[in-house]
A and B are shown apart, each in its own frame.
Chain A
């Protein structure tokens, strides 16, 4: 098994608490009619409510799940249960040669991987063919320039709208929200600028929030203005800045283009993972930290509707991998180019006082003012409580208030016993959302999704 997972890490893969619970109840040998494992895979047959037992198999090399059950959850409870059983009681699953139904699947996966590699190689060859390249380039250029024109028109309109808001005053904006934002967002979707549509929709709820809504709204409008202005003179910007702008507007880069960037090798620690829903899309943000480069990387996985959300990295584990970063003035988002089989040892996290969070963030927004959030592991820190809110304290006496909805403080305190730990927080410039904690080599998941949702105190 390439990675030795802890039960907690397995449960963190669950798409929702119900699946985690169901998976837990299946993690007992009694639930399985047969089961087996070898270096690359684990499999089992589970009697469900149907006539034939469900066949569950997991490719351990990249944590791919497959199950014959009709569940649309991914991974399903059978997959979770089997993997959990492997993590908890490896001895209860006998080492064996895979039966035909497992061997065929592994075989087809190997073939597919080989085919993909071949196709990639072929694509590279084709790229050599100048005639084909030219034809394709012409076609692409036509489509691209049509889109650029649409976006330019859309942004012009958005710029006008933004200035109108400021001219008439945000007090009026407040009265017209959220409908006026929704209209503008729809306009941005038509203009093929979905990134801006998302920003507008996020901002639409600000006026109803009360408190310092004027400030928050002004900030969001100012950022949108920056994007509009930037796009008007995009040719004058560096390639990296252009990429950032285009990404903010919603131009996507094909995976191949990203994977063509120079790969960056390191031994990565998966600091934590956050699940979120954006525009009917489920998004998993996984934060990686390079133990040699001290570099931060963000992996995003998306899934629409009931589609499975594949998450191939597990919080709290390490992996040796080559990442390709999306081109940016402040490269952060990345794709895994190659994953190496060796599992690096758990790195020693560097000391990071609370000040360093603000310093990091200052550097990031200096490069990329509209960055959504960064994550970092602060430590050594201890947890304190004031007025029903959790705070982090560091040895220099600085403190950081945690998100008011952070509900796992007591759980964390129970595990640290007041001892200093390293805390992984996502920071959006205002709120620190804890994702996980490292207590020595022990990983404690604090994310709000997955298995951990005990009511009452934790």
Chain B
């Protein structure tokens, strides 16, 4: 009397073949009996089976009854309703801009859009939430804005997808038990997110948390976690970091060395200073007797190379094998140590301003090595006084560092005016010109004033190809798409006029079009964030 049994019987018979097996109709459902009886007139058993199968199949399909949730053990429950949003959503037009970026168009602008959205206190519309969360899962750099722009709906949605849960909230658990549970049971990406947030808010607590599980973490995880300690790094971390110099993994040791080098009062930096002091002999400048000008002799710095690398140096991360053929082993050891010492140490020790040190006569063939070492040290320790002194120094002829090398490390406002000053004597931005290289290294956003100068130079450069052949310059072509992200969107119309000239030239048309589209997209997307419809 049961359909499944009868159906099974038919299927099994069909599988084996009616030559080998006859289907028993004993279990046929009662409703089907009268119809099946009519089939006894069909003489061919194969045909009879096919027709019986047809009847049974329709009988089954027509009688199908869905499973009720209660019958399936109370699971699953439909998602609870999402609480209403109090945060206003951005306009529908802004939502479409987001949609375009999620689809892959102008995606490089997405961080700017998210920052602007968050700044205005708006949230992402419901239609784009799933797309944004899906993308954020793969791209760390957009995650930081999510907690501010997801709204109730987004947080509610993310809470239901285990892969998204950690994206929605930067909230740290207030009690230690929950924190420990999340730390011990979370996936690697959740743990990284948790530790990053904790490190930012409570640096010492983050260190305690990681120390608890440190011996059992794998090398890859240790290095990923330790990287997060660059945030809020302080002398309080030093004792523990110092012990990590003896870690089993070279990668982990390298990270600890780098972190310790960034703590000016760390024992590691102290050891470096002690190693270098005997190797550097400083003679202050002598002021001439006549008006303090004539006969003035510059400072002198005499370098002695170390004997080589000992095991204590090795523990501090000094390698013996030069990474460049410019240095022998001893010079390489010296150069590495110089980078690890904050340059302000030398200013204090010799009672000399950075520019005095940079102008010093440096012994032997080591001049460039010392300047480059001081430059790298100034960057590593973000020493603004030194960086600015180096930037001034880089403007001189025949120096081992150039404005293009240093500009990205300069404080933003200073960098902008520094670039402006250098561009004053520039007439165009052709190919490998230092000015173009410098601008490509200068991150945005650029000031309006600088942008206007750059646009004028771009026009001038493009117009050089006015007569006869057009200008070909892949450097500038590549630079256009970078500049379109840095020029303030308020200058979009200006930027379009500045490049319109080359818009129809085959060599330039597609990059100019992309430049114009990108900057107008930015202008449109920011405008759409300020309308409420």
Stretch from A60-68, A100-108, A160-168, A272-280 at the B interface: A160-168
**Shortest distance from the beta carbon of A418 to any chain B beta carbon, whole Å:** 4
B133 and A457 within 8 A (CB): yes
Q: Which of B14, B58, B79 has the most CB of A within 10 A?
A: B14
Closest CB of chain B to A406's CB: distance in Å? 13
Q: Contact mask B32-76 → A, CB, 8 Å, 1/0?
A: 000000000000111101110110011001111111111010011
For the complex of A and B, 6 pairs with smallest distance between CB atoms: A169-B17, A457-B134, A456-B134, A417-B82, A458-B130, A362-B62
Contact partner, A222, options B51, B66, B78, B105, Cβ 8 Å: B51
Q: In the complex the two chains form, is B137's CB within 8 Å of A24's CB? A: no
Looking at A165, A170, A358, A413, the one whose CB has the most chain B CB atoms below 10 A away is A413
Asked if residues B130 and A414 are in contact (CB atoms below 8 Å), the reply is yes
Q: Given A163-B50, A358-B66, A414-B157, A365–B11 Cβ distance below 8 Å?
A: no
With a CB–CB cut-off of 8 A, which chain B residues contact A168? Answer: 17, 19
Report the nearest A residue to B139, measured CB to CB.
A456
Q: Which residues of A contact B93 (CB under 8 A)?
A: 88-89
B186 to chain A: closest CB distance in Å?
A: 20
Contact between A414 and B15, CB atoms less than 8 A apart: no
Q: Mark B461-503, 1 if CB is under 8 A from A, else 0.
A: 0000000000000000000000000000000000000000000
Q: Which listed residue (A49, A366, A369, A429) contacts B54, Cβ 8 A?
A: A369
Partner of A396 from the list B61, B68, B131 (CB cut-off 8 Å) is B68
Interface contact A7-B96, CB-CB below 8 Å: yes
Q: How far is the CA of A171 from the CA of B53 in the complex (A)?
A: 17
Residue of B nearest to A419 (CB): B81
B191, chain A: closest CB distance, angstroms = 21
* B86 smallest CB distance to A (angstroms): 14
Does B160 belong to the interface (CB within 8 Å)? Answer: yes
Q: How far is the CA of A397 from the CA of B72 in the complex (A)?
A: 10
Q: Chain B 141-167, CB within 8 Å of chain A: the 1/0 string?
A: 000000000000110110011011000
Q: Does A24 contact B105, Cβ atoms closer than 8 Å?
A: yes
B69 in contact with A222 (CB, 8 Å): no
Q: Which residues of B contact A283 (CB under 8 A)?
A: none
B82 in complex: contacting residue of A162, A225, A418, CB < 8 Å: A418
**A residues 150-176 in Cβ contact with B at 8 Å:** 159, 162-172
Say whether chain A's binding surface is mostly helix, strand, loop, or mixed: helix
Determine the residue in chain A with the shortest Cβ distance to B106. Answer: A25
Q: Known: A162-B50, A456-B137. Contact between A215 and B66, CB under 8 A?
A: no
In chain B, positions 82-107 with a C-beta closer than 8 Å to chain A are 82, 93, 96, 99-100, 102-105
**Chain A contacts for B47, CB-based, 8 A:** 159, 163, 166, 225
A21 to B291 CA separation, bound complex (whole angstroms): 73
Interface string of A1-42 (1 = CB under 8 A from B): 000000100000000010011001100101000000000000
Verify B15–A418 contact, CB threshold 8 A: no
- Interface residue? A441 (CB, 8 A): no
**A222 CA to B46 CA, complexed, in Å:** 11
Extra 15 A-B pairs, beta carbons < 8 Å, given A225-B47, A382-B79, A410-B161:
A21-B100, A30-B516, A163-B47, A164-B46, A214-B15, A215-B11, A219-B57, A226-B51, A357-B66, A366-B58, A369-B58, A397-B69, A399-B68, A399-B69, A410-B134
B524 interface contact, C-beta 8 A: yes
In the assembled complex, the CB of B360 is this many whole angstroms from the nearest CB of chain A, namely: 56
User: Which residues of chain B come closer than 8 Å to A165, judged between CB atoms?
Assistant: 46
Chain A residue numbers with a CB within 8 Å of B63 are 362
Q: Quick one: closest B residue to A392, CB to CB? A: B78
* Residues of chain B within 8 A of A410, CB atoms compared: 130, 133-134, 157, 161
Query: Inside 8 A of A28's CB, which chain B residues have their CB?
Result: 520, 524
Q: Which residues of A contact B129 (CB under 8 A)?
A: 414
Residue count of chain A within 8 Å CB distance of chain B: 70
Whether, in the assembled complex, A455 has its beta carbon less than 8 Å from a beta carbon of chain B, the answer is yes
Given contacts A215-B11, A385-B76, contact A415 B50 (CB under 8 A): no
Type the 1/0 row for A412-442, where 1 means its CB is closer than 8 Å to any CB of B. Answer: 0111011100000000010000000000000
Complexed CA–CA distance, A168 and B13 (Å):
10
A-B contact pairs, 8 of them (CB 8 A): A24-B100, A30-B520, A169-B18, A218-B11, A221-B14, A385-B160, A393-B76, A457-B161
- Nearest Cβ in chain B — how far from A177, in angstroms? 14
Q: Kindly identify which residue among A24, A399, A429 contacts B72, using a CB–CB cutoff of 8 Å.
A: A399
Chain B facing A: main interface SS:
helix
- In the assembled complex, the Cα of A354 lies from the Cα of B69 at a distance in Å of 12
Complex: chain B residue closest to A359, CB-CB? B62
Whether B62 lies near A169 (C-beta < 8 A) is no
Instruction: Judge whether A397 and B70 touch: CB under 8 Å.
Output: yes
Contacts A171-B16, A414-B126; A384 near B78 (Cβ below 8 A): yes
* B58 cross-chain contacts in A, Cβ below 8 A: 365-366, 369
* Residues in A neighbouring B509, C-beta threshold 8 A: 49
Interface status of A264 (Cβ within 8 A of chain B): no
Residue of A nearest to B100 (CB): A24
A225 B51 Cβ-Cβ under 8 A: yes
Within 8 A of B (CB), among A312-365: 354-355, 357-358, 361-362, 365
The complex places the Cα of A229 from the Cα of B48 at a distance, in Å, of 12
How far, in whole Å, are A159 and B509 apart by their CA atoms in the complex? 65
Instruction: Contact check, B131 vs A366: say whether CB atoms are below 8 A apart.
Output: no
B291 smallest CB distance to A (angstroms): 64
Interface size class of B (residues with CB under 8 A): 35 or more
- Provide the residues of chain B in CB contact with A393, threshold 8 Å: 69, 76, 78
Q: In the assembled complex, how far is the CB of residue B55 from the closest CB belonging to chain A, in whole angstroms? A: 9
Q: Is A418 a contact of B79 with CB atoms below 8 Å?
A: yes
Minimal Cβ-Cβ distance residue in B for A11: B99
Q: Give the shortest distance, in Å, between A352 (CB) and chain B (any CB).
A: 13
> Contact between A166 and B17 (Cβ–Cβ < 8 Å)?
yes
**CB-contact partner of A391 in B51, B76, B130, B161, under 8 A:** B76
What's the least CB distance linking A14 to chain B, in Å?
12
Q: Which residues of B contact A25 (CB under 8 A)?
A: 100, 105, 517
Interface centre among B17, B50, B70 (most CB of A within 10 A): B50
A21's nearest neighbour on chain B, judged by CB, is: B103
Residue from B19, B62, B157 within 8 A of A167 (CB atoms): B19
Shortest CB-to-CB span from A62 to chain B, Å, is 26
Within the assembled complex, what's the spacing in Å between the Cα atoms of A163 and B104? 54
Taking a contact as CB atoms under 8 Å apart, the answer to whether A166 and B50 are in contact is yes
CB distance A411 to B130 under 8 Å? yes
Q: Does A383 sit within 8 A of B, measured CB to CB?
A: yes
B80 sits at the interface (CB 8 A)? yes
B454, chain A: closest CB distance, angstroms = 22
Is the pair B134, A455 in contact by a Cβ cutoff of 8 Å? yes
Known contacts being A358-B64, A398-B68, A458-B131, is A386 close to B96, with CB within 8 Å? no
Q: Is the CB of B81 within 8 A of A418?
A: yes
* Complex Cα gap A395–B61 (Å): 23
Residues of A within 8 A of B102 (CB): 454
- Which of A88, A385, A457 interacts with B164 by CB under 8 Å? A457
**Residues from 266 to 323 in B contacting A, C-beta threshold 8 Å:** none
A246–B77 Cα gap in the complex (Å)? 46
Encoded as 1 (CB less than 8 Å from any B CB) or 0, chain A from 253 to 294 comes to: 000000000000000000000000000000000000000000
- Asked if B131 and A457 sit within 8 Å, CB to CB, the answer is yes
Q: Shortest distance in angstroms between B526's beta carbon and chain A's nearest beta carbon?
A: 14
Q: Would you call B135 an interface residue if the criterion is a C-beta within 8 Å of the partner chain's C-beta atoms?
A: yes
B163 — which chain A residues lie within 8 A by C-beta? 457
What residues on B are CB-neighbors of A17 within 8 Å? 103
Nearest CB on A from B189, distance (A): 14
A223 at the interface (CB under 8 A from B): yes
The CA-CA distance from A425 to B474 in the complex, in Å, is: 52
Instruction: List which B162-211 residues lie within 8 A (CB) of chain A.
Output: 163-164
Asked if A300 is an interface residue, CB under 8 A from chain B, the answer is: no
**Interface pair B46/A166, CB less than 8 Å apart:** yes
